[in-house]
């Protein structure tokens, strides 16, 4: 046990650098996934048919193909077409597109779950489509989206480990290096704990956002979660 602890102490600088890379992938991927999900989620309910078709094609493509294969394509195949990116940017883009596609379904489902009476009332007030979405529909759908986004964010954190396949020295990579100097149980036991803490911190942050959003609408936790469950 003491040998494992000594090896862990010696590996702490490398593990810290790996944690930083994983955080970069998580934050960058989450931001891009949010932008992608909102964009294609709104396109999926557009009255313009070609825009809906475009959203469906893109979302189903990235949901229906492996994240690992997408990472390989971006990092190893795209340079053949003159598009080269460093490993961190590749990981961020792959995570953002993949989980953004799943998030687009969260956005679409949450918006469609808003009570039809709210849509009809906004139309009766002669609001423009943009004003109707911004002031009436989106604030209610946002509460529903946050539960789905929370689940996707946890999945994205775990998905950052795919960067190991393109040689990126993230936390998963450094864990594998630690395993060589210690034992499999010890190294990956630390990995389980650290990834759990990642998920706990980010998930708690989104729960706080959800609580604030509910309060703005005067919703109780029970009613909001029940509606979110129906939407998802």
Residue 23 has pLDDT above 70, yes or no: yes
Instruction: Output the DSSP codes for 157-199.
Output: HHHGGGGGGGT---HHHHHHHHHHHS-HHHHHHHHHHHHHHHH
| Residues 42, 165: Cα–Cα separation, whole Å | 33
CATH number for the domain spanning 102: value is 1.10.3720.10
pLDDT tens across 141-184, in order?
999 899 899 999 999 999 998 888 888 888 888 888 888 888 88
* Each residue's pLDDT tens digit, 108-148: 999 999 888 888 887 888 888 788 888 888 888 999 899 89
How much is the pTM? 0.86
**Spatial CA neighbour of 111 closest among 40, 201, 61:** 40
Instruction: Print the domain residue range for 195.
Output: 2-231
pLDDT digits (tens, 9 = 90+) for 47-103: 899 999 999 999 999 999 999 999 999 999 999 999 989 999 999 999 999 999 999
Domain count across the chain: 1
Contact indicator for 188, 36 with CB cutoff of 8 Å: no
Over residues 1-15, the pLDDT tens digits come to 677 788 888 888 999
The answer to whether the beta carbons of residues 188 and 29 sit under 8 Å apart is no
pLDDT at 28 over 90: yes
- Give the per-residue pLDDT at 224: 47
């Amino acid at each position: 046990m003491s040998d494992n602890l000594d090896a862990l102490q010696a590996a702490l600088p490398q593990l810290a650098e790996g944690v930083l890379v994983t955080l970069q992938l998580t934050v960058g991927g989450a931001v891009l996934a949010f932008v992608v999900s909102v964009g294609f989620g709104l396109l999926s309910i557009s009255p313009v048919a070609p825009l809906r078709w475009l959203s469906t094609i893109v979302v189903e493509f990235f949901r229906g193909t492996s994240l690992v294969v997408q990472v390989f394509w971006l990092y190893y195949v795209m340079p053949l077409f003159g598009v080269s990116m460093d490993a961190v940017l590749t990981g961020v883009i792959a995570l953002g597109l993949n989980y953004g596609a799943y998030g687009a379904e969260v956005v679409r489902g949450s918006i469609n779950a808003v009570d039809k009476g709210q849509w009809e009332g906004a139309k009766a007030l002669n609001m423009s489509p943009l004003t109707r979405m911004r002031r009436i529909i989106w604030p209610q759908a946002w509460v529903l989206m946050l539960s789905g986004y929370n689940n996707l964010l946890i999945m994205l954190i775990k998905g950052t480990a795919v960067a190991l396949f393109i040689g990126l020295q993230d936390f998963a990579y450094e864990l594998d290096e630690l395993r060589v100097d210690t034992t499999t149980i010890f190294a990956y036991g630390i990995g389980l704990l650290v990834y759990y803490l990642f998920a706990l911190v980010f998930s708690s942050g989104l729960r706080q956002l959800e609580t604030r959003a509910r309060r703005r609408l005067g919703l109780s936790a029970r009613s909001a979660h029940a509606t979110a469950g129906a939407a998802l």
